Chains A and B, each alone.
Chain A
Amino acid sequence: MEKKPFWTLQRKQAAVAYLFLLIPLIFFLAIRIYPALDAFKTSFQVKGSQPFYYHYQAMLSDKVFSKALINTILYVVITVPLQMLIGLGLALLIQSLNKGRGIYRFIYFIPYVTSAVAVSWIWRWMYFKDLGVFNEILKFFGIPAQPFLTHPSQALISIAAVIIWQAVGFNMLIFLAGLEAIPKLYYEASAIDGANRRRTFFHITLPLLNPTIVFLAVTGVINSLQTFTQVLNMAGAQGGPLNSTKSLVVYIYNKAFLNFNMPYGAAMTVVLFLLILMITIIQIKFLSRSYEHS
Chain B
Amino acid sequence: MFKRKWAIWMALIALIGTLLLSGCSSKNSSGEDGDGQVTIRYWQYDYASRVNAMNELIKKFEAENPDIKVIHETFPYEQYQQKVAAAMQDKKNQPEIINMYMGWEPKFIDQGFLQPIPDELMTAEEIESHFVPMIKDYQFDGKYYALPIAVRTLAFFWNKDLFAEAGLDPEKPPQTWDEVLAVAKQLTKYDASGTLQQSGYGWNVTGQDYHLFMQVLLRQWGGQPFSDDNRKVTMNSEAGYEAFKWWMEMNTVHKVGKEDFLGTYDKAFLAGKTAMITDGSFRLGGLKDATFNWGVTELPTKTIGGEKHTFGSFFANGITANVSGKKLEASIRFLKFLISDDTMRFWLENVGEIPASNTLANDPALQNDPKYGAFIRGLSYAHATFFADEAGERDAFKLGTDEVVINGADYKAALDQIVESIQQIRDEYFSNH
A227-285 interface (Cβ within 8 A of B): 236-238, 240-243, 254, 257-260
Query: Nearest chain A CB to B276's CB is how many angstroms away?
Result: 18
A242-B14 contact given A30-B21, A130-B262, A259-B391, CB 8 Å threshold: no
Interface SS of chain B: helix, strand, loop or mixed? Answer: helix
B1-55 interface (Cβ within 8 A of A): 2, 6, 10, 13-14, 17-18, 21-22
How many of A's residues come within 8 Å of B, CB to CB?
A: 36
Other-chain residue from A25, A34, A258 in contact with B391 (beta carbon distance below 8 A): A258
Q: How far is the CA of A131 from the CA of B107 in the complex (A)?
A: 41
B427 at the interface (CB under 8 A from A): no
B365 at the interface (CB under 8 A from A): no
| Chain A residues packing against B (C-beta within 8 Å) | 11, 14, 18, 22, 25-26, 29-30, 33-34, 124-125, 128-131, 135, 139, 144-145, 149-152, 236-238, 240-243, 254, 257-260
Query: Nearest chain A CB to B424's CB is how many angstroms away?
Result: 13
Which residues of B sit under 8 angstroms from A242, Cβ to Cβ? 399, 402-403, 406-407
Question: Which residue in chain A gives the minimum CB-CB distance to B194?
Answer: A145
Which residues of A sit under 8 angstroms from B17, Cβ to Cβ? 22, 25-26, 29-30
A30-B22 contact given A130-B261, A131-B262, A242-B406, CB 8 Å threshold: yes
Q: How far is the CA of A11 from the CA of B9 in the complex (A)?
A: 14
A151-B263 contact given A26-B18, A30-B21, A145-B195, CB 8 Å threshold: no
Other-chain residue from A25, A131, A151, A254 in contact with B195 (beta carbon distance below 8 A): A131
B398 at the interface (CB under 8 A from A): yes
Whether the pair A128, B22 counts as a contact (CB closer than 8 A) is no
Question: Which residue in chain B gives the minimum CB-CB distance to A29?
Answer: B18
Q: B167-211 interface mask toward A, CB cutoff 8 Å, 1 = contact, 0 = none?
A: 000000000000000000000000001111100000000100000
Other-chain residue from B398, B399, B406 in contact with A151 (beta carbon distance below 8 A): B406
B82 at the interface (CB under 8 A from A): yes
Other-chain residue from B2, B18, B107, B402 in contact with A241 (beta carbon distance below 8 A): B402
7 shortest interchain CB distances as A-B pairs: A26-B17, A258-B391, A130-B196, A30-B21, A29-B18, A130-B195, A139-B193
Which residues of B sit under 8 angstroms from A139, Cβ to Cβ? 193, 195
Which residues of B sit under 8 angstroms from A129, Cβ to Cβ? 260
List 4 other contacts, CB 8 Å, given A26-B18, A34-B21. Answer: A18-B10, A130-B195, A144-B194, A254-B391
Other-chain residue from A22, A33, A238 in contact with B13 (beta carbon distance below 8 A): A22
Whether the pair B406, A144 counts as a contact (CB closer than 8 A) is no
B420 at the interface (CB under 8 A from A): no
Query: Nearest chain A CB to B7's CB is how many angstroms away?
Result: 9
| Chain B residues packing against A (C-beta within 8 Å) | 2, 6, 10, 13-14, 17-18, 21-22, 81-82, 85, 107, 193-197, 206, 259-263, 389, 391-392, 395, 398-399, 402-403, 406-407
Query: Nearest chain A CB to B130's CB is how many angstroms away?
Result: 31
A128-B197 contact given A14-B6, A241-B406, CB 8 Å threshold: no
Query: Nearest chain A CB to B432's CB is how many angstroms away?
Result: 8
Whether the pair A34, B22 counts as a contact (CB closer than 8 A) is yes
Whether the pair A18, B6 counts as a contact (CB closer than 8 A) is yes
Question: Which residue in chain B gives the minimum CB-CB distance to A145?
Answer: B195
Which residues of B sit under 8 angstroms from A25, Cβ to Cβ? 14, 17
Query: Nearest chain A CB to B271's CB is how many angstroms away?
Result: 10
Whether the pair B195, A150 counts as a contact (CB closer than 8 A) is no
- 24 A–B contact pairs at CB < 8 A? A14-B6, A22-B14, A26-B14, A26-B17, A29-B14, A29-B17, A30-B17, A30-B21, A30-B22, A33-B18, A125-B263, A130-B195, A130-B261, A130-B262, A131-B195, A135-B195, A139-B195, A149-B260, A236-B206, A238-B395, A254-B391, A259-B389, A260-B85, A260-B107
Query: Nearest chain A CB to B334's CB is how many angstroms away?
Result: 28
Q: How far is the CA of A135 from the CA of B262 in the complex (A)?
A: 13
Which residues of B sit under 8 angstroms from A257, Cβ to Cβ? 82
Question: Which residue in chain A gives the minimum CB-CB distance to B79?
Answer: A257
Question: Which residue in chain B gives the minimum CB-CB distance to A138?
Answer: B193
Q: How far is the CA of A33 from the CA of B406 in the complex (A)?
A: 44
Which residues of A sit under 8 angstroms from B194, Cβ to Cβ? 144-145
Question: Which residue in chain A gives the minimum CB-CB distance to B403?
Answer: A242
Query: Nearest chain B CB to A92's CB is how many angstroms away?
Result: 40
Question: Which residue in chain A gives the minimum CB-CB distance to B392?
Answer: A259
Query: Nearest chain B CB to A34's CB is how many angstroms away?
Result: 6
Question: Which residue in chain B gives the minimum CB-CB distance to A23?
Answer: B17
Whether the pair A240, B193 counts as a contact (CB closer than 8 A) is no
Which residues of B sit under 8 angstroms from A241, Cβ to Cβ? 402, 406
Which residues of B sit under 8 angstroms from A144, Cβ to Cβ? 193-194
Q: How far is the CA of A128 from the CA of B391 in the complex (A)?
A: 25
Whether the pair B6, A238 counts as a contact (CB closer than 8 A) is no
Query: Nearest chain A CB to B76's CB is how many angstroms away?
Result: 13
Which residues of A sit under 8 angstroms from B107, Cβ to Cβ? 260
Whether the pair B398, A240 counts as a contact (CB closer than 8 A) is yes
Which residues of A sit under 8 angstroms from B391, Cβ to Cβ? 237, 254, 258-259
Which residues of A sit under 8 angstroms from B262, Cβ to Cβ? 128, 130-131
Among A14, A18, A240, A260, the most chain B Cβ lie within 10 Å of the Cβ of A260
Q: How far is the CA of A125 from the CA of B268 in the complex (A)?
A: 13
Query: Nearest chain B CB to A71's CB is how many angstroms away?
Result: 15
Which residues of B sit under 8 angstroms from A237, Cβ to Cβ? 391
Q: How far is the CA of A68 from the CA of B360 in the complex (A)?
A: 50
Q: How far is the CA of A149 from the CA of B259 in the complex (A)?
A: 12
